[in-house]
Amino acid sequence: MSAALFFFFVLAAVAVLGAVSLILQRHPIHSALSLILVMVALAGCYLLQGAEFIAAVQIIVYGGAIMVLFVFVIMLLNAGEEERTNFSRMARYAGLPVAIFLLIELAYWATRSAPAAQVAEMPVGPAQTRGISLMLFREFVLPFELTSVLILVAILGAVVLAKRES
Amino acid sequence: MVPASYYLLLSAVLFGLGVVAFVFKRNVITMFMAIELMLNAVNLAFVTFSRQLGTLDGQVFVLFVIVVAAAEAAVGLAIVMLIARNRQSLNVERVDLLKL
Amino acid sequence: MSDILTEHSLLIVSIIKVVVFVFILLTSVAYLTWLERKVVGHIQSRIGPDRVGPHGLLQPLADGLKFLFKEDPTPDGVSRFVYFLAPFLALTLAIAAVAVIPFGPHEFELLGQKTGLQIADLNIGLLFLFAITSLGVYGLALAGWSSNSKYPLLGGLRSSAQMVSYELALTLSVVGVVLMTGTFNLREIIASQHGYLWGWVPRWTLFAPPFPQVIGFLCYFTAAIAETNRVPFDLPEAETELVAGFHTEYSAFKFAMFFMAEYVNMITVSCLATLLFFGGWHSPFPASAHQVTQYLPTALFAAGGALLLWDGIGYRTLFGKVVLPVLGLAALGFAALCAVPGVIGVVQGPFWFLAKVLTFLFIYIWMRGTLPRFRYDQLMAFGWKFLLPVALANVVLTSFMILVMQK
């Protein structure tokens, strides 16, 4: 087994474990920590595939900003452990098999439709960041500008929504 | 060399687990986190295909997904804070009527 | 045995490097605490630690033993897993940041692997450091929350909000350097600061042609002090304000971990300031004077050794009378070793790098001894309304000047 395959299995195991832990934990803060673990494992997967810039951006933005926001909100709202609810027993008996079926179906189509294992040349190293930024400012310049407007709108929305009525 | 289908399988499994978490959890914030998990699984698929095809388009798209997820998390959590303030509970089953 | 060595030589060389670097780092952290107490003491017209060993040199050892043997109570009602996780996270992330910092230019062979004075030479070294800084917020936030007490919660929330706010200014102030050098790789950033302008000004990013990054450096250093929660930005952990902030409910070894994490962060930030703005391991003296100035390490160690000898002989305790002259002789021996022409070339790079890092650490300690602290709303207003726009302006000006110079 090559080193890359070994690392992939470790990272995949960590990611799946984190996702399962997100479901099974009762307290939202533990679910948040599990999600951070999943994100770090996925950043490792990106690194393994050679997408180093995206791996760094994933940790900086997703793991270091978005999840910090989640953790802050959980702390501020003093969220407690989940209460056990009595309704939705139907969901437990019918929902879980449907979810597992969906999972198996997705996995089947994902592995079947992947083209044969040939990897084309992708720029690595400094050329990769340069390539991404060139693409961002040439072909994708309109979505880029739109996302900046989107972020501005999100900031304004969050500020207006979270203000207390005074 | 790790075959691309392994990454796609991981992406599918994570997406499925995200759906399960979204359907079965009752806390609003945890459901939000399940959405983020689904977005992450999709990002993995994008990066895998970007490497398969040898272009950087997939990675640029991942950047956009991350940015949109950030904006959505900000506004969504502001709404969650308002819900918690108005109904004193983070349980989605208590947020089923417009009347307080 | 030898084929394990050749087959996994990369892994073994990495492990050796990690062990050596972590050992040196933790010892430096211990003696940085000694230096801080001495310097702050002298600023406040007193001597500082003086009893434990000659000139208090064994004080860090005494403190370490105290932390190990102190009782470690776990308060009632804490969330156990998160309470134990937070200090580990803080210390691990702080030490992991040192993995990409290059300490010298030379490459040498070890077990068949070519390696430099750096654990990992990443193409995205700078982004890796920012990733570690972003994750560092969790140590504080989780510590404050899991302590199940009002003051730590408030301190933890304030600390995290402060760190997240100043992280933006920190990242933006470095973008000017990245624009000018064109790479995220730390070795290449240092390599591009090679050479001299007009013969005598070193071509550091601070002075370099398209746009001297003075504003960038000042923004970076201010944001870095806020990131490491040091005076004047240390309100969340000041004793007079919130008991001790997020680490109130921690004692003994777990507190020592937070303490060490803070000093390791200081060292990382100083190293980064050195290599981004001050030329890393390049000597500040012009090339024409190199024949003479390259023997500066020799001269310094010789002077230090002589001073230690003279001080040790007249010291008041017997232990000091023995240890200090021995240290002095060791310094003189090292100076004699450096006088050999082959060795001085190897010692130059790390010597200048460490000298600049020590200067920044001294400035940190100097500020702690002299400046009063900001109030929390002043701190946040400063970060968002002043530092972030100035860092943005620096990016815009730098890119404008680069475009103009290219025409």
What are the domain boundaries of chain C?
64-295+339-406
Q: What is the pLDDT of residue B3?
A: 81
Taking CA atoms, what residue in A is nearest to C165?
A: A65
Residue A99 lies in a domain: no
Residue C149's CB is within 10 A of a number of other CB atoms, namely: 16
Considering the domain boundaries, does residue A8 fall inside one?
yes
Which of A99, A100, A114 is closest, CB to CB, to B8? Answer: A114
Share of chain C above pLDDT 90, in %: 34
Q: Give tens-digit pLDDT for A124-143.
A: 666 788 888 888 899 999 99
Closest chain B C-alpha to A34 CA, distance in angstroms: 10
Residues A1 and A67 in one domain: yes
- In terms of CA atoms, which chain A residue is nearest residue C179? A130
Q: How far apart are CA B28 and CA C57, in angstroms?
A: 55
Longest alpha-carbon distance in chain B: 57
Please give the single-letter amino acid code of residue B9.
L
Chain C's closest residue to A43, CA to CA, is C131
Q: What is the number of domains present in chain A?
A: 2
Which residues in chain A have Cβ-Cβ distances shorter than 8 Å to C153? Answer: 75
**In terms of residue numbers, what domain contains B70?**
4-94
Global confidence as pTM: 0.90
Q: Which residue has the higher pLDDT, C83 or A120?
A: C83
Give mean pLDDT, residues B21-34.
90
Count interface pairs A-B at CB distance under 8 A.
239
pLDDT band at A34 (very low <50, low <70, confident <90, very high): very high
User: What is the pLDDT, as a whole number, of residue C107?
Assistant: 79
A114 vs B79: CB contact, 8 Å cut-off? no
Among C8, C83, C123, most A C-beta atoms within 10 A, so best to mutate, is C123
For residues C226-246, average pLDDT: 75
CB neighbour burial string for C319-353, b if at least 16 within 10 angstroms, e if fewer: ebeebbbebbeebbebbeebeeeeebeebbbbbbb
Best mutation target among A29, A30, A39, A40 (most C Cβ atoms within 10 Å) is: A29
pLDDT score recorded for residue B76: 93
**Residue B2, number of CB atoms within 10 A of its CB:** 20
Asked whether the beta carbons of residue A65 and residue C164 sit closer than 8 angstroms, the reply is yes
The interface predicted TM-score (ipTM) is 0.92
Task: Answer whether residue A91 is part of any domain.
Answer: no
Question: DSSP 3-state assignment of A84?
Answer: coil
- Verify whether the Cβ–Cβ distance B81 to A76 is below 8 Å: yes
**Predicted local distance difference test score (pLDDT) of residue A89:** 65
pLDDT at site A146? 94
Q: Give chains near B: 3+ CB pairs under 8 A.
A: A
pLDDT bracket for residue C324 (50, 70, 90): confident
- How many domains in chain B? 1
In three-state form (DSSP H/G/I as H, E/B as E, the rest C), the secondary structure along chain C is CHHHHHHCHHHHHHHHHHHHHHHHHHHHHHHHHHHHHHHHHHHCCCCCCCCCCHHHCCHHHHHHHHHHHCCCCCCCCCCHHHHHHHHHHHHHHHHHHHHHCCCCCCEEEECCEEEECCCCCCCCHHHHHHHHHHHCHHHHHHHHHHCCCHHHHHHHHHHHHHHHHHHHHHHHHHHHHHHHHCCCCHHHHHHCCCCEECCCEECCCCCCCCCCCHHHHHHHHHHHHHHCCCCCCCHHHCHHHHCCHHHCCCCHHHHHHHHHHHHHHHHHHHHHHHHHHCCCCCCCCCHHHHHHHCCHHHHHHHHHHHHHHHHHHCCCCHHHHHHHHHHHHHHHHHHHHHCCHHHHHHHHHHHHHHHHHHHHHHHHHHHHHHCCCCCHHHHHHHHHHHHHHHHHHHHHHHHHHHHHHHC
A132 touches chain B (CB under 8 A): yes
The confidence band for C88, taking pLDDT boundaries of 50, 70 and 90, is: very high
pLDDT per position as a tens digit, A98-117: 777 888 887 777 777 655 55
Interface mutation target, options A75, A148, A159, chain C, most CBs of C under 10 Å:
A75
CA atoms within 13 A on the CB side of C45: 0
Which tens digit of pLDDT belongs to each residue from C102-147? 988 887 777 777 777 888 888 888 999 999 989 989 988 898 888 8
Given pLDDT bands bounded at 50, 70 and 90, which one contains residue C243?
Answer: low
| Pairing mode of beta strands C113-116, C107-110 | antiparallel
Whether B25 is covered by a domain: the verdict is yes
Joined together, the tokens standing for residue C102 give: 């290059």
* Residue A109 falls inside a structural domain: no
Q: A129 and A62 in one domain?
A: no
Chain A residue with CA closest to B42: the answer is A42
How far apart are alpha carbons C402 and A137 in whole angstroms? 18
How close B7 gets to chain A, by Cα (Å)?
8
Q: Which of A28, A53, A80 is the last residue of a domain?
A: A80
Tell me, what's the pLDDT at C4?
64
* CA-atom Rg of chain A in angstroms: 21
Q: What is the mean pLDDT of chain A?
A: 84
Point out which residues pair with A88 in neighbouring strands.
none
**Parallel, antiparallel or unpaired: strands C113-116 and C201-202:** unpaired
Over range C235-247, report the average pLDDT.
Answer: 67
Closest chain B residue to A23 measured between Cα atoms? B21
**Is pLDDT above 90 for A76?**
no
For the segment C333-350, the average pLDDT, to the nearest whole number, is 83
Q: Which percentage of chain B shows pLDDT scores above 70?
A: 99
- At C176-190, the pLDDT tens digits run 999 998 889 899 899
**What confidence category does residue C387 fall into, taking pLDDT thresholds of 50, 70 and 90?**
very high
pLDDT given at position C42: 93
Phi, psi angle pair for C216, to nearest 5° = -60, -45
| Position B100 in a domain | no
B99 domain-assigned = no
Predicted pLDDT at A125: 65
Q: Chains that contact A by 3+ CB pairs under 8 Å? A: B, C
Q: How confident is the model at residue C51 (pLDDT cuts 50, 70, 90)?
A: confident
To the nearest 10°, the Cα dihedral for C114, C133, C349, C351?
-130
Asked if residue A116 belongs to a domain, the reply is no
Contact status of A64 with chain B (Cβ, < 8 Å): no
Which structural domain range is residue A145 located in? 123-166
| pLDDT reported for residue C361 | 94
Q: Which residues contact C117 (CB under 8 A, 6 or more apart)?
A: C102, C103, C104, C105, C106, C349, C350
b/e per residue A16-51 (b: at least 16 CB within 10 A) = bebbbbbbebebbbbbbbbbbbbbbbbbbbbbbbbb
> What is residue B70's predicted lDDT score, i.e. its pLDDT?
93
Q: Are residues A2 and A67 in the same domain?
A: yes
Q: Is the pLDDT of residue A96 over 80?
A: no
Q: How confident is the model at residue C321 (pLDDT cuts 50, 70, 90)?
A: confident
pLDDT at A86 > cutoff 80: no
Contacts 24+ apart (CB under 8 A), A146-151: A147/B64, A147/B67, A147/B68, A147/B71, A150/B67, A150/B68, A150/B71, A151/B67, A151/B70, A151/B71
Contact A76 B1 (CB under 8 A): no
Binned at pLDDT 50, 70 and 90, residue A22 comes out as very high
Contact B18, B38 (CB under 8 A): yes
Same domain, A69 and A128: no
Rounded Cα distance, C252 and A58, in Å? 35
Could you tell me which of C64, C95, C226, C89 has the C-alpha nearest to residue C144? C89
Q: Find the CATH number of the domain harbouring B22.
A: 1.10.287.3510
Instruction: Provide the greatest CA pair distance for chain A.
Output: 64
Q: What is the mean pLDDT of chain C?
A: 86
A5: in domain: yes
Of the candidates B19, B32, B27, the one whose C-alpha atom is nearest the C-alpha of residue B77 is B32
- Residue A101 in domain: no
Structure tokens at C180: 């000018």
Question: What is the per-residue pLDDT for B74?
Answer: 92
CA distance C123 to chain A (A): 6
Q: Cα separation of A108 and A113, whole Å?
A: 9
pLDDT over threshold 70, residue C59? yes
Angle between helices A28-48 and C80-96 (to 10 degrees): 30
Q: How many helices (H) and strands (E) does chain A have?
A: 8, 0
The yes-or-no verdict on residue C155 having pLDDT over 60 is yes
Average pLDDT over residues A42-68: 92
Over residues A34-45, mean pLDDT: 95
Burial of C403 (0-12, 13-18, 19+ CB in 10 A): exposed
